[in-house]
């Protein structure tokens, strides 16, 4: 016989796995899953389940109740396992908490409170007032991780930021000759450094993020597409940090739309028009201490644009700028079995006098990626969700 705890864990994990199915389509809404469980004298069984399958579509709880109705199941007296607090507001769909109440649900097990100010605690109030038994938060860490971008935006007003870097064992991201070839601009090409498996993995990471950001140096040097062509899944919004608006209208990255963050308010009108005609959306921002686009302002602008999670694939300068500003949450570092010697390296431009102040990762995890090694971790500066 399962203990109540194990019993709850089993169904909440089922709700979590359903929630993951909403991956692309739910953006910028959170991914939510719901499982309805009916307990009888002969045991417990799932009578309905669902997830938030797309922005503007029914919420997970409504999908689960509809599923139960289609199966002619009786949900009165059932328990609902939901990864996020049932909502209380009329948005694109009617609120879920009253719907659970009128369906006769007697117990609700919730992953975490909804940080959206339109909901935040009000869903619980509705359930509690109706006498529904509440167990919350339950498996909170996992449920928050699922929607880390959504939580980061509501708690810090910026997207979840993942830095991705690929280098040799000695941390080099390019050869010196490559930089000279591009007029001292940073270069972060994966070509020739990491292997196929890591490239495929990197494209999967792109599909999991709402936005992908590089510096204009990388755009000029590599002329990348920044798509998910090696895998399935939606390509993220392409974003270029381009302080002086120097990206040429012929750049690959402009095809299919691209968001340019610049400080060049007075840029030549014809240049601006040519970029816009080529697919760019230009956003003029203040410059920070370094004379480059202020990263805090950049992240707010991206949040406004619907970006909840951002993958930074920049060269060393852009990666270091995010670390210096402490505006980064997780790292994915691919190390290839190579020693490249002189060349631009991860961490270039960062300078610390004491070990206490170096950039640190917590929960670091190491795994193989073909011939390469993938180190993942959470930056110590990343605030709790």
Q: Among all residues, which ones are annotated catalytic? A: 61
Q: Are 360 and 378 in contact (CB under 8 A)?
A: no
Q: Does residue 96 belong to the site contacting Zn ion (CB under 5 A)?
A: yes
Which tokens belong to 272?
């601006």
Minimum distance of ligand AOF from residue 129's CB (angstroms): 17
Give the footprint of ligand AOF on residues 92-131 (CB under 6 A). 92-93, 96, 114, 116, 119
Cα–Cα distance between 218 and 380 in angstroms, integer? Answer: 27
Q: Which is nearer to ligand AOF, 91 or 192 (CB)?
A: 91
Least distance (Å) between residue 22 CB and ligand AOF = 8
Q: Where are the beta strands (DSSP E) in 225-290?
A: 237-241, 258-262, 280-284
Contact, 176 vs 272, CB < 8 A? no
Cβ proximity to ligand AOF, 122 vs 203, nearer residue: 122
Stretch that binds ligand AOF, among 27-35, 72-80, 225-233, 333-341 (CB under 6 A): 27-35
Nearest approach, Cβ of 91 to ligand AOF (angstroms)?
A: 2
Of 188, 223, 220, 201, whose CA–CA distance to 312 is shortest? 188
Cβ(15)–Cβ(37) below 8 Å: no
Q: Is 32 an interacting residue with respect to ligand AOF (CB under 6 A)?
A: yes
Q: What are phi and psi of 220, to 5 degrees?
A: -70, -40
The contact mask relative to Zn ion for 49-78 (x = CB under 5 A, - = no) is: ----------x-------------------
Closer CB to Zn ion, 97 or 319, in the complex: 97
Q: Which of 27, 52, 164, 172 binds ligand AOF (CB under 6 A)?
A: 52
Least separation in angstroms between residue 113's CB and ligand AOF is: 10
Strand order in the sheet with 43-51: 43-51, 33-40, 79-82, 107-110, 133-135
The reply to whether 149 sits near ligand AOF by the rule CB under 6 A is no
Q: Which two tokens stand for residue 67?
A: 């599923």
* Residue 30 contacts which entry, Zn ion, ligand AOF, none (Cβ below 5-8 A, type-dependent): ligand AOF
Length of the chain: 385
Torsion of CA 40, 41, 43, 49, to 10 degrees: 0
Shortest distance (Å) from residue 236 CB to Zn ion: 26
Q: Decide: is 212 part of the binding site for Zn ion (CB under 5 A).
A: no
DSSP state of 147: T
Q: Looking at beta carbons only, is 87 or 173 nearer to ligand AOF?
A: 87
HSE on the CB side for 325, CA within 13 Å?
A: 22
Q: Which residue, 230, 207, 279, 177, is CA-closest to 20?
A: 207
State the nearest-atom distance from the C-beta of 126 to ligand AOF, in Å: 11
Residues 6+ apart with CB under 8 A from 106: 77, 78, 79, 132, 133
**87 lies in the site for Zn ion, by CB under 5 A:** yes
Considering beta carbons, is residue 91 or 341 the nearer one to Zn ion? 91
Q: Which region among 37-45, 55-63, 209-217, 292-300 touches ligand AOF (by CB under 6 A)?
A: 55-63
92: CB partners within 8 A, 6+ apart:
55, 56
* 146 or 282: CB nearest ligand AOF: 146
Shortest Cβ 150–ligand AOF spacing (Å): 7
Please identify, using beta-carbon distances, which residue of 150 and 379 lies nearer to ligand AOF. 150
Q: Note whether 109 binds Zn ion by CB under 5 A.
A: no
- For the chain, report the end-to-end CA distance as a whole number of angstroms: 35
Burial readout 68-81 (b: 16 or more C-beta within 10 A, e: otherwise): beeeebebeebbbb
Site of interaction with Zn ion (CB under 5 A): 59, 87, 96
Site of interaction with ligand AOF (CB under 6 A): 29-30, 32, 52, 59-61, 84, 86-87, 91-93, 96, 114, 116, 119
């Amino acid at each position: 016989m399962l203990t109540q705890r194990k019993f709850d864990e089993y169904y909440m994990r089922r709700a979590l796995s359903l929630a993951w199915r909403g991956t692309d389509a739910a953006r910028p809404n959170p991914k939510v899953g719901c499982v309805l469980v009916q307990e009888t004298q002969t045991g417990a069984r799932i009578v309905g389940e669902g997830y938030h399958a797309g922005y503007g579509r029914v919420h997970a709880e409504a999908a689960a109740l509809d599923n139960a109705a289609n199966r002619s199941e009786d949900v009165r007296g059932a328990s609902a396992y939901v990864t996020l607090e049932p909502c209380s507001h009329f948005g694109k769909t009617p609120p879920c908490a009253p719907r659970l109440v009128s369906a006769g649900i007697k117990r609700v097990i919730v992953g975490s409170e909804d940080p959206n100010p339109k909901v935040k605690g009000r869903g619980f109030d509705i359930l509690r007032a109706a006498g529904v038994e509440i167990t919350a938060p339950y498996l909170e860490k996992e449920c928050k991780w699922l929607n880390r971008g959504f939580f980061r935006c509501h708690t810090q007003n910026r997207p979840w930021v993942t830095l991705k870097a690929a280098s040799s064992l000695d941390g080099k991201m390019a050869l010196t000759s490559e930089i000279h070839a591009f007029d001292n601009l940073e270069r972060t090409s994966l070509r020739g450094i990491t292997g196929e498996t890591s490239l495929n993995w990197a494209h999967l990471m792109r599909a999991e993020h709402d936005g992908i950001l590089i510096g204009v140096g990388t755009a000029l040097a590599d002329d990348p597409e920044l798509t998910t062509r090696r895998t399935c899944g939606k390509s993220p919004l392409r974003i270029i940090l381009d302080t002086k608006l120097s990206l040429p209208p012929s750049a690959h990255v402009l095809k299919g739309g691209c968001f340019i963050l610049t400080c060049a308010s007075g840029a030549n009108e014809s240049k601006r028009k040519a970029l816009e005609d080529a697919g760019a959306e230009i956003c003029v921002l203040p410059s920070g201490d370094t004379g480059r686009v202020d990263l805090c302002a950049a992240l707010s602008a991206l949040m406004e644009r619907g970006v909840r999670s951002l993958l930074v694939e920049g060269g060393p300068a852009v990666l270091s700028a995010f670390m210096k500003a402490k505006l980064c949450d997780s790292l994915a570092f691919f190390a290839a079995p190579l020693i490249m010697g002189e060349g631009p390296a991860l961490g270039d431009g960062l300078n610390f006098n004491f070990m206490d102040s170096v950039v640190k990762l917590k929960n670091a995890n190491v795994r193989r990626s073909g011939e390469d090694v993938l180190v993942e971790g959470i930056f110590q500066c990343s605030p709790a969700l």
